[in-house]
Amino acid sequence: MSIDVRTAAPGPRPNPERPAPGAPVKLPGTGGQQQTGWSIGDRIGLAAAWFCGISLCVAAVAIVGFMAWKGVQYLHLEMLTSSPEASLDQSTSGGFLDPLVGTLILTLIGVGIAIPVGVGIAVWLTEYGRPAGLARLVESGVEIVAGTPSIVLAIFGLLVFQQSFMGVFSFTAEGGAVFGRSFLTAGSMMALIALPLVIGATREALHSIPRHVREASYALGKDKASTIRRVLLPSARSGIATGATLGMGRICGDTAIVVVLLGASMQTTPEEGFGGLLRGTGSTLTSYVYNNSPSGEGNAPEKAYAAAFVLLMIVLLLNFAVGLIGKRNKPQWN
Amino acid sequence: MELKEEQTQNGSAPGAEVPPLRQIVVESETVPIRVGDYAGPPDPEYGREPWQLNAGLDSDPIWVEERMRTEALSIAYGGKVAVSAVDLEVNSGEVLALIGPSGCGKTTLLRSLNRLVELTPAARRTGRIILDNQDVDTFDVTRLRSRVGMLFQQPNPFPMSIFDNVAYGLRERGSKKPRRKQLEPIVVDALERAGLWDEVSSNLNHPALALSGGQQQRLCIARSLAVSPEVLLLDEPCSALDPISTGIIEETIVELRNEVAIVIVTHNLQQAARIADRVAFMYLGDMVEYGPAGQVFGAPREARTQEYVGGGFG
């Protein structure tokens, strides 16, 4: 994470024939003497750049270090395998198996929707994109979704999924009121969070495929659909995976949608009938941390720190995976 | 699929010493064969002028027949004319080199022969392109492109195995069919003709992009040959390669002209002199001179050709 300022440093390159920095020299064609070397402004700028870079490192190390210290202190293995219980005493309030599984389910639903939809949009934008006006409209749509705060998405989702014809996605109370909160409804809003990342990474991957690779496929008598399916999508695979993994990281870390649309219940509560778990409510690590933190209702900081540490590890692991995916399996043409 | 059946017939039959000649499906009339108009080493019996002879490598005499022809072909991008009223003959049994300075329209001309130029939205074409006495506009563009193959400047194997690359053109859209067993003889034959078989026979399942640049380019040749084209278009195929790979590709090209009509765009005049039987010199969209390689290089009729082959254009 450190910034290598040596390569970015302004001023002349080291040159053995050049006089020492600061020494006045006569340069041909400049009409007079010029000061070489770094001015005081450059020096201050360089120092500031160093300082900023190191500060960021300190912040990153502090987050991981502090969470690791607290996490190792409070995290016990049985917390990962036991459900949360209603108790004021932190020693009897159980673990966070349900939130952990909830995070997993929600992430899978989110990327499960976001990958096919996002890849489809990216392929259309990159390979077809006509009429141009429609393409621009789709692009701004993607930007709007990307820029919408997740709490707004959550409220919007609640509005949509509480409509009576959306009853199949969640619990319907006696009298016909649709609850609107379930893994499915939260997952589909989570998909909107991951979608711009999937679209962006896929588009970038498709753009990086040289034109002559597409033409080589056409030159073998293949049509566009076949080229997309057999050449372009396999070539963009690592880009798609990168986007999906970034999206998973975002879904894991989102709290607002969970609180509003998943119910943020203490335990996972499946509904009766087909797909009961998906139509039921639950919680994730983020809502668990929020509810147990001093600002939440639980006031169980030990549990909050332990869960936050697990969440941080999951997200860091995903980011690490992004780096790995980006390096491997990416086709390289000259 | 019609194509598939032809492929299977044309694949190397086990035990056959000489690969069977390609059957060319001519739907209208038969193609006139101009007997005696062959490229090859000097043959005093035919009394040919020295400059009419194949400029380059030693090879046996081969029949020359017309495969493709353009009639008053013009291509413009927007309002800018890139190729103007070009009449060109492409013969099987010959290597035709298109030479000329950058921007003279030779690549556009080449790309129009398999209608790849139509992928550029601004491109407009007038004039006719005839393949085996049929206007290319009358057939399906995908069918045309499987009959007129193309090789690009940069080696561009697809990100799949060596086998799948060669089999790519033979498989139906999006599916793995026909199965590997059926395709194997064709793939092996194509790799042999491209001179790559000995190097890759043990690792057909390895990723194609792990090959060296020269091997990748020969793989691309094999990929084109697998669909049994009648014409092969080469767009500066050696410009990204080292001299040794270039030499191997040139040998492959010269061997291939027995079976496929070859059109090559090249900036490298030495290369054109080494491998071409016929040369077309283009300048600012015009076809200035078209003739046997020995004549164009040895005794050019036009002053502009003289200047260019003598290095005058720089």
Q: What is the mean pLDDT of chain A?
A: 84
- Is residue B186 included in any domain, yes or no? no
- Is residue B223 included in any domain, yes or no? no
Length of chain B: 314
Report yes or no: B159 and A331 within 8 Å, Cβ to Cβ: yes
Name which of A222, A229, A332 is nearest B209 (Cβ-Cβ): A332
Q: Among A206, A220, A233, A328, which would you mutate to test the B interface (most chain B Cβ atoms within 10 Å of its Cβ)?
A: A220
Report yes or no: B106 and B93 within 8 Å, Cβ to Cβ: no
Q: Report chain A residues whose CB lies below 8 A from the CB of B159.
A: 231, 234-235, 331
Closest CA to B104 of B75, B125, B129: B75
- Is residue B220 included in any domain, yes or no? no
- How many helices (H) and strands (E) are present in chain A, helices listed first? 14, 2
Report yes or no: A215 and A151 within 8 Å, Cβ to Cβ: no
Closest CA to A211 of A103, A85, A127: A127
Name which of B146, B160, B213 is nearest A234 (Cβ-Cβ): B160
Domain count of the fold of chain B? 1
Q: What is the mean pLDDT of chain B?
A: 79
Across the interface, whether the CB atoms of B174 and A225 are under 8 A apart is answered yes
pLDDT of residue A93: 74
Q: Residue A81: phi, psi to the nearest 5?
A: -120, 5
Name which of B146, B174, B209 is nearest A220 (Cβ-Cβ): B146
- Is residue B105 included in any domain, yes or no? yes
Question: CB neighbours of A284 closer than 8 A, spacing ≥ 6?
Answer: A99, A102, A103, A106, A252, A258, A262
- On whether any CB of chain A is under 8 Å from the CB of B240, the answer is yes
| Exposed/middle/buried for residue B185 (C-beta within 10 Å: 0-12, 13-18, 19+) | middle
Dihedral sign of CA atoms B153, B154, B159, B163 in order: positive
- On whether any CB of chain B is under 8 Å from the CB of A332, the answer is yes
Q: Among B148, B156, B211, which would you mutate to test the A interface (most chain A Cβ atoms within 10 Å of its Cβ)?
A: B156
Nearest-angstrom CA–CA distance, A118 and A112:
10
Instruction: Report CA-CA distances (Å) from B303 to A9, B69, B309.
Output: 55, 26, 10
- Is residue B195 included in any domain, yes or no? no
- Is residue B282 included in any domain, yes or no? yes
Nearest CA in chain B to A211: B156
pLDDT of residue B290: 92
The mean-pLDDT minimum among B5-9, B189-193, B225-229 falls in B5-9
Task: Give first-to-last CA distance, chain B, whole Å.
Answer: 50
pLDDT of residue A108: 93
Name which of A218, A231, A333 is nearest B116 (Cβ-Cβ): A218
pLDDT of residue B57: 43
Report yes or no: B22 and B10 within 8 Å, Cβ to Cβ: yes
Supply the Cα-derived Rg of chain B in whole angstroms: 19
Across the interface, whether the CB atoms of B159 and A218 are under 8 A apart is answered no
| CA distance to partner chain A, nearest, from residue B219 (Å) | 12
| B227 or B48, which is more confident | B227
Residue B199 has pLDDT above 50, yes or no: yes
| Exposed/middle/buried for residue A328 (C-beta within 10 Å: 0-12, 13-18, 19+) | exposed
Provide the pLDDT confidence category of residue B24 given band limits of 50, 70 and 90: very low
- Is residue B13 included in any domain, yes or no? no
Nearest CA in chain B to A231: B158
Write the DSSP string, A189-205. Answer: HHHHHHHHHHHHHHHHH
Residue B190 has pLDDT above 90, yes or no: yes
Q: State which of A113-127, B59-73, B264-278 shows the largest mean pLDDT.
A: A113-127
Residue B58 has pLDDT above 50, yes or no: no
What does the pLDDT average to over B200-224? 92
Dihedral sign of CA atoms B192, B196, B197, B203 in order: negative
| CA distance to partner chain A, nearest, from residue B26 (Å) | 19
List beta partners, residue B89: B69
pLDDT of residue A201: 94
Question: CB neighbours of B306 closer than 8 A, spacing ≥ 6?
Answer: B300, B312
Across the interface, whether the CB atoms of A216 and B143 are under 8 A apart is answered no
Q: Report chain A residues whose CB lies below 8 A from the CB of B156.
A: 210, 212-213, 216, 333
- Chains A, B: CB contacts under 8 A, how many? 80
Q: Among B151, B158, B221, B265, which would you mutate to test the A interface (most chain A Cβ atoms within 10 Å of its Cβ)?
A: B158
Nearest-angstrom CA–CA distance, A308 and A207:
38
Across the interface, whether the CB atoms of A219 and B145 are under 8 A apart is answered yes
Report yes or no: A284 and A262 within 8 Å, Cβ to Cβ: yes
pLDDT tens digit sequence for B231-270: 999 999 998 889 998 999 999 998 888 888 999 999 888 8
- On whether any CB of chain B is under 8 Å from the CB of A333, the answer is yes
- On whether any CB of chain B is under 8 Å from the CB of A219, the answer is yes
Q: State which of A317-321, B23-27, B219-223, B300-304 shows the largest mean pLDDT.
A: B219-223
What is the side-by-side strand order in the sheet with B231-235? B148-151, B231-235, B261-265, B95-99, B278-283, B286-292
Residue B50 has pLDDT above 50, yes or no: no
Task: Give first-to-last CA distance, chain A, whole Å.
Answer: 29
Residues of chain A with pLDDT under 70: 1-36, 272-274, 296, 298, 329, 334
Q: CATH code at B86?
A: 3.40.50.300
- Is residue B237 included in any domain, yes or no? yes
Q: Report chain B residues whose CB lies below 8 A from the CB of A223.
A: 142, 173
What is the side-by-side strand order in the sheet with B80-92? B80-92, B65-77, B123-131, B134-135
pLDDT of residue B224: 93
pLDDT of residue B4: 43
- Return the structure tokens found at A81: 């395998």
* Kind of pairing between the strands at B134-135 and B286-292: unpaired
What does the pLDDT average to over B146-160? 92
What does the pLDDT average to over B155-171? 91
Provide the pLDDT confidence category of residue B179 given band limits of 50, 70 and 90: confident
Angle at B94 between CA B137 and CA B36, to 5 degrees: 110
Residues 242-301 of B with CB under 8 A from A: none
Indicate the angle between helix axes A132-147 and A183-207, nearest 10 degrees.
130
Residues 224-243 of A with CB under 8 A from B: 225-226, 229-231, 234-235
Across the interface, whether the CB atoms of B158 and A333 are under 8 A apart is answered no
Nearest-angstrom CA–CA distance, B59 and B41:
7
- Return the structure tokens found at B162: 């060596």
pLDDT of residue B165: 93
Closest CA to B291 of B276, B303, B270, B275: B276
Q: Report chain B residues whose CB lies below 8 A from the CB of A219.
A: 114, 116, 145, 149-150, 224
Cα B172 to the center of its chain, rounded Å: 24
What is the residue range of B250's domain? 25-157+229-309
Across the interface, whether the CB atoms of A225 and B149 are under 8 A apart is answered no
Please report, as a single letter, which amino acid is at residue B216: Q
Report yes or no: B249 and B237 within 8 Å, Cβ to Cβ: yes
Please state, for a pLDDT cut of 70, what percent of chain B lies above it: 77
